């Protein structure tokens, strides 16, 4: 072949290659309809950190079933950081053989046999947050591996990402997952640094809005170069974000700390508020040692129904007075959820005259219209009907606790 023909042949090859790449990537997307309501499950990090192994993961799956959590809607068992071993000579990753001697596929089979789904963790950087092998430069290989293992959920972190563009890095992994052809829920754990709520809906199914949560109701843990945040601090950071959330694309205020050392009042408030936020309900406690009170909180189906409501509208703070916050959330069938949070450490009396309040969701143009509509009131923690909105509501709310109501529409 002469040089002219070689140049022409090479040029045609490059054009064809560009066409193939453009054709493939132009159709790459996230898998749709995997998270029409916020995902529910469990993650290993908050309680176990790196102290994980296949037996612990199996035990969590067992307990999710036996505790009633599966019946309440929880489905994902998610392995966080520290599962990684080495890459082989072709660059494919393998699990730590001491912690996961049977392999991740074996674990997926076990979890699936329980009617649950398995999640895993990786990171967009050169190393994970705990210093293990991450996916930078191996996105397509790792996506193929996760698909081969029959993974159902990927949490993708943002440590050691110097020089990376967040949108590009997360889109690359999105495309890799799509090419691997196994539907996997994609959780963007980017901590809100690059405003993922503005671009995340086309990339993943949920995105972290803040740094890490901390098992404290109203405090900050300073790690020196970064901080982790108590429940109320994370709650305050959600302001202004609700317009970005909806079915298949959720704001994620991080995994829950219910059962990790806070008081029962605080656990109940934490859980209630995450449900009002239409947040993913990913538990972070040791399911094997839950008290009855913790199980009762995590499996309250009527409170969970507020989170899982098919409208997919994130709730909003309606008022705040003397550290008493009133939150509302529109629901399907013209119902509403109402949560009253007492941020004080002492008990407070709360009175709400429905006829004098004008509750309107300005973003979605929905009004409660208490003057023309009577709602029945159900207390979701007491699990009983307590009246209707023709009469003012009065309650004594303990410190760091909530009243959680469902307002059930009935025409006057």
Which residues carry out catalysis? 157, 212
Q: Are 374 and 354 in contact (CB under 8 A)?
A: no
- Residue 312 CA neighbour count, 13 Å, CB half: 17
Nearest CA among 319, 344, 395 for reference residue 232: 344
């Amino acid at each position: 072949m002469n040089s002219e023909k070689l140049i022409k042949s090479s040029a045609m090859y490059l054009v064809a290659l560009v066409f193939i790449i453009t054709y493939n990537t132009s159709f790459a997307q996230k898998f749709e309809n995997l998270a029409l309501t916020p995902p529910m499950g469990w993650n290993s990090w908050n309680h176990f950190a790196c102290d994980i192994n296949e037996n612990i993961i199996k035990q969590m799956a067992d307990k999710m079933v036996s505790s009633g959590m599966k019946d309440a809607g929880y489905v994902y068992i998610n392995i966080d950081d520290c599962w990684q071993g080495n890459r082989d000579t072709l660059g494919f990753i393998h699990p730590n053989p001491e912690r996961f001697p049977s392999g991740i596929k074996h674990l997926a089979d076990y979890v699936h046999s329980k009617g649950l789904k398995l999640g895993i963790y990786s990171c967009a950087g050169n190393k994970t947050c705990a210093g293990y092998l991450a996916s930078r430069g191996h996105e397509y290989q790792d996506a193929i591996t996760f698909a081969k293992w029959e993974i159902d959920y990927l949490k993708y972190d943002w440590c050691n990402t110097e020089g990376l563009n967040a949108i590009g890095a997360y889109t690359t992994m999105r495309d890799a997952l799509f090419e691997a052809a196994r539907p996997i829920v994609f959780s963007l754990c980017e901590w809100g640094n690059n405003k993922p709520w503005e671009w995340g809906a086309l990339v993943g199914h949920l995105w972290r809005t803040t740094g890490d949560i901390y098992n404290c109701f109203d405090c900050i843990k300073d790690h020196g170069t970064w901080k982790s945040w108590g429940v109320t601090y994370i709650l305050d950071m959600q302001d202004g974000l609700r317009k970005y959330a909806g079915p298949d694309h959720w704001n994620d205020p991080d995994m829950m700390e219910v059962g990790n050392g806070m008081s029962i009042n605080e656990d109940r408030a934490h859980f209630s508020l995450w449900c009002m936020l239409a947040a993913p309900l990913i538990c972070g406690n040791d399911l094997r040692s839950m008290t009855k009170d913790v199980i009762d909180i995590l499996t309250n189906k009527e409170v969970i129904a507020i989170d899982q409501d098919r409208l997919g509208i994130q709730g909003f703070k309606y008022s705040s007075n003397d550290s008493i916050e009133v939150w509302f959330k529109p629901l399907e069938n013209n119902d509403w959820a109402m949560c009253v949070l007492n941020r004080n450490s002492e008990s407070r009396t709360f009175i709400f005259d429905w006829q004098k309040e004008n509750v309107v969701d300005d973003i979605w143009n929905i009004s409660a219209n208490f003057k023309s509509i009577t709602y029945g009131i159900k207390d979701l923690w007491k699990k009983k009907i307590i009246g209707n909105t023709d009469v003012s509501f009065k309650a004594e709310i303990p410190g760091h606790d909530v009243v959680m109501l469902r307002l059930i529409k009935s025409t006057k």
